[in-house]
Structure 1
Amino acid sequence: MLKTLQPRTSTQIPEPPVSRFLFADTRMAWFWLIVRLYVGYEWLTAGLEKLTGHSYTFDASFGQVVKGGAWVFSGHDGAGLKGFVAGALAQAGGPHPAVQGWYATFLQHVVLPNATLFSYVITFGEICVGLGLLLGVLTGIAAFFGLFMNLNFLLAGAVSINPVIGTLALFLVLAWRIAGYYGVDRYLLPLLGTPWTGSLRKNQAHLPNVATS
């Protein structure tokens, strides 16, 4: 019986129906819309706080000055990030450090000397990720970069809400085909297509016309 099995002939394993329903069926787009708006709101408010130095969360702190002030356009650009890095480096010691040695080395020798540049990259990166998710523009790509920033914050010892929105961002990456269905992606993705299919609109234009009676 084992001789009849030919594993090499099966190069692909079909996607389970549950996975297709959750991550590729437009009937689930409403669910990913809720997830997308929540994660986008968190990223946009975080970016605006670093840009302006004021809170934009819808609670009692709305409009108040945030701790550390603005990260950019403040006359002391990079100061906020330097404080964040200093806190991360303080967690790199001891027998069970919250920040791993290799990442602490990266923070100390790469991020810290270029704090001003990284401050702008992080600030506008958070704003772009937030806007991309809220508007549903290239949702999968926006969620991926959001997840990348979450990972870096976690490696720097900043837990906070990062595990939550990082996990949600991971699922948004998996649901990239429908996560932006109630957004710009509904029209943008068919126009752009994918590297392995090309533009769906162009493909439809080349389909032969079938006469109907």
Structure 2
Amino acid sequence: MEKNNYIYMKENPFSRFLLNDSRSAGLWLIIRLYVGFIWLKAGWGKIHNDAWIGENGGAAVTGFVKGALEKSAQSNDVAGWYAMFLENVVLPNGKIFAFIVAYGELLVGLGLILGLLTGIAAFFGSFMNVSFLFAGTLSTNPLLFILATWLVLAWKVAGWYGLDRWVLPKLGTPWSKFDYE
């Protein structure tokens, strides 16, 4: 089907339901709250930990980076280019990165729990998960990365039971600026 020199492909009913239909919002609410709670809990713990924020701020990041650098020297768990980034950028700026990680985790958690800018919050959550994975840390990062990626794909309905239902129409959405009919 072609309109206005654009080619439109019909979406299959399953992905249309999951990613575009507010009837699937309950499923996304459960996933969103689960991922959001994990991020909120992690960030809250870090901002109340002296090794992250405070007099010893950056000590936790420094320890984490040194552990990742040891892994890169001993095995292929940490790619060489990422080890160089950690050693030359993160390690000398441990306090700044500790602040960014701690408050980033907290903000991602709040965004997901409140359903506020859900797609953006999920994107930054998945970005942090990938960063931790590149540093050789598994833990819950693969699962959280997958769930966050799904939330990014479902951003139109993932925040339906949240603030996005009212905020996104006020901010404007890509499909409201164009007439595709």
Calculate the TM-score normalised by the size of structure 2: 0.91
SS at match of 1:27: helix
Match of 1:210 in 2: none
Name the structure 2 match of 1:84. Answer: 64
Q: Distance in 2 between matches of 1:179 and 1:30?
A: 8
CA apart distance, 1:197: 2.9
Higher gyration radius (CA)? 1
Identity of aligned residues (%): 53
**Displacement of 1:77 after TM fit?**
1.0
Q: Which structure would you say has the larger RCO, counting Cα contacts within 8 Å and 6 or more residues apart?
A: 2
**2:53 aligned with 1:72:** yes
**Paired residues of 2:51 and 2:58 also in contact (CA < 8 A):** no
CA RMSD of aligned residues (A): 1.8
**Number of residue pairs aligned between Structure 1 and Structure 2:** 175
Q: Which whole-Å CA distance do the structure 2 matches of 1:194 and 1:18 have between them?
A: 23
Secondary structure in structure 2 of the residue aligned to 1:158: coil
Q: Which amino acid aligns with 1:45?
A: K
**Secondary structure of 1:110's aligned partner:** helix
Q: Normalising by the residue count of structure 1, what TM-score does the alignment of the two structures yield?
A: 0.78
Q: Does 1:144 align with 2:123?
A: yes
1:93 is displaced (CA, Å) by 2.1
CA shift, 1:191, in A, is 1.3
CA distance in 1, matches of 2:115, 2:175: 22
CA contact (8 A) 1:51 1:70 kept: no
Is 1:28 aligned with 2:7? no
Q: CA deviation at 1:17?
A: 1.4
Matches within 5 A, 1:27-66: 27-53=23-49
Q: SS of the counterpart of 1:13?
A: coil
Q: Structure 2: which amino acid aligns with 1:38?
A: Y
For residues 109-131 of structure 1, give each alpha carbon's deviation from its aligned partner in whole angstroms, at most 9, with x where no partner exists: 00000111111011100000000
Q: How does 1:160-199 map to 2 (within 5 A)?
A: 160-195=139-174, 197-198=176-177
- Give the aligned partner of residue 15 of structure 1: 11
> 1:13, CA displacement in angstroms?
2.6
Q: Could you list the runs of 5+ residues in structure 2 that have no partner in the other structure?
A: none
Deviations 1:37-77 (A, max 9, x none): 00000000000111113xxxxxxxxxxxxxxx54012x111
Measure the CA separation in 2 of the matches of 1:89 and 1:187. Answer: 45
Q: Which amino acid aligns with 1:87?
A: G
Find the partner of 1:153 among 113, 132, 156: 132
